[in-house]
Amino acid sequence: MADERKGAVTLRGNPITLGGPELKPGQSAPDFTALDNGLKPVKLSEAKGKVIILSSVPSLDTPTCDTETRRFNQEAAKLGSNVEIWTISRDLPFAQKRWCGAAGVTSVKTLSDFRERAFGPAYGVEIKDGPIAGLTARAVFVVGQDGKVKHVEYVKEIGSEPNYDAALAAAKSAAS
C-alpha cells in the first residue's frame, strides 16, 4: 500500500513496516478520538489553545514505555498549565489506569487507541508486521495551540527512548 513505510523503524534491529503517512512539522495535526482511563472519548480538536505532546508507545507494560511515561510525568509539572502530555497506546483503558496507579503517574493523560484505532494510521505509527503488529510504534509529536505539528520524532529503534529534550524544547517554544 502507498501508506506503508517498509523498514521505517526497527525492533531489536529487525525492520518494521509502519502504516500511515510520515508527518512533518508545519502540517495540520490529524484529529483523532481515543479513550481515557474512564472510557470517555478524548478528541485532539477539543484541546485547542493548548500545546499537546503526543507520546506514542507500544505498551505501558514494557520497560522502555514505562521509563518514557514516568519521565514525561516528571517533566509535565514544569511545563505550565497550557501544555499537556498525552501518552497513547493500544493498551486497554483498564490496563492504563492500573499502570498509572501503580506508577503514581498523575500528570500525563493516558489514552487508548484500541477502539477506534484512528491515531495509529493517522500519525504513521501503526505497526504492520513483526512480533508486535497491531500496536503503535514509539514516536513523539508536539502539536501547537494552532493545531499544527511543531515537532516529530519517529524513534528509529522501538526499544530506544525518544529525545525528551527536543520534544520539551518544542513544547516550551510553542507555548510561549
State how far the Cα of 84 lies from the Cα of 107, in Å rounded to an integer. Answer: 8
Helix axes 93-103, 63-76, angle to 10 degrees: 70
Q: Active-site residues: which are they?
A: 65
- Residue 92 exposed, middle or buried by CB count within 10 Å (0-12, 13-18, 19+): middle
Q: What per-residue confidence (pLDDT) applies to 110?
A: 97
In the chain, which residues have pLDDT < 70?
1-2
Q: What per-residue confidence (pLDDT) applies to 69?
A: 95
Topology of the domain covering 4-19+35-175 = Glutaredoxin (3.40.30)
Number of neighbours of residue 28 by Cβ within 10 angstroms: 11
Decide the pairing of beta strands 33-35 and 41-43.
Answer: antiparallel
Q: What per-residue confidence (pLDDT) applies to 176?
A: 86
3-class state of residue 15 by DSSP: strand
Q: What per-residue confidence (pLDDT) applies to 3?
A: 87
pTM of the model: 0.96
Q: What per-residue confidence (pLDDT) applies to 2?
A: 57
Decide the pairing of beta strands 51-56 and 149-154.
Answer: unpaired
Q: What per-residue confidence (pLDDT) applies to 111?
A: 98
Q: What per-residue confidence (pLDDT) applies to 48?
A: 83
